[in-house]
Amino acid sequence: MSTTAATRRVLGIDPGSVRTGFGVIEVTGSRSSYVASGVIQTGKGSFAQRLHIIYTGIAEVIRAHQVSESAIEEVFVSRNIQSALKLGQARGAAICACAGDDLAVHEYSARAIKQALVGSGGADKDQVSYMVRAILSLQGVLREDAADALAVALAHTQHDRLSAQIASNKRRAIP
């Protein structure tokens, strides 16, 4: 399917060095619909091999679903600096896959994603998952990483709609 100005495919990515979630939605106007989601499992190989699996997995998703733009969750620094560094490298592998297909990469904090979907930056994962299923009219349970990735994609579309509305309001306000 080719994308037009009115229809686009957005890839959301929830990076992780063991499991990287992905979610693809199609956006037409203000309507978002589910295309695909899943988890790229990296296994127990060397860290370099795991990063390569993330890179190739995201590249395959982009091509298979004709993605036109991407969004990824930012790294938050926890107490374990080694975990944060590995998460940053997993993010880098996913970002490189997007850049390799000439996709702009939009980055959002976990708090901004929760705020966009639930209305509270302190929302828990169950609330986010519920809103993802409700917005996309999905039944059943989504894997946590896939639900988080779909949330990233949906937050990006919400951000785009808000930015477009603000721009429109500014144009109308200028005499």
Whether pLDDT at 135 is above 70: yes
User: Residues 14, 26, 69, 148: which is the catalytic one?
Assistant: 14
Q: Any idea which fold 7-173 has? A: Nucleotidyltransferase; domain 5 (3.30.420)
Please indicate whether residue 144 is annotated as part of the active site.
Answer: no
Please indicate whether residue 73 is annotated as part of the active site.
Answer: yes
Q: Which sequence spans correspond to the domains of the chain? A: 7-173
Please indicate whether residue 148 is annotated as part of the active site.
Answer: no
User: Residues 26, 69, 73, 148: which is the catalytic one?
Assistant: 73
pTM reported for the whole predicted model: 0.86
**pLDDT class of 48 with cuts at 50, 70, 90:** very high
Secondary structure element (H or E) that encloses residue 28, with its range: strand 19-28
Q: Please give the Cα distance from 48 to 34 (Å, whole number).
A: 32
**pLDDT class of 29 with cuts at 50, 70, 90:** confident
Question: Alpha helix locations (H) across the chain?
Answer: 47-64, 81-100, 110-118, 125-135, 144-173
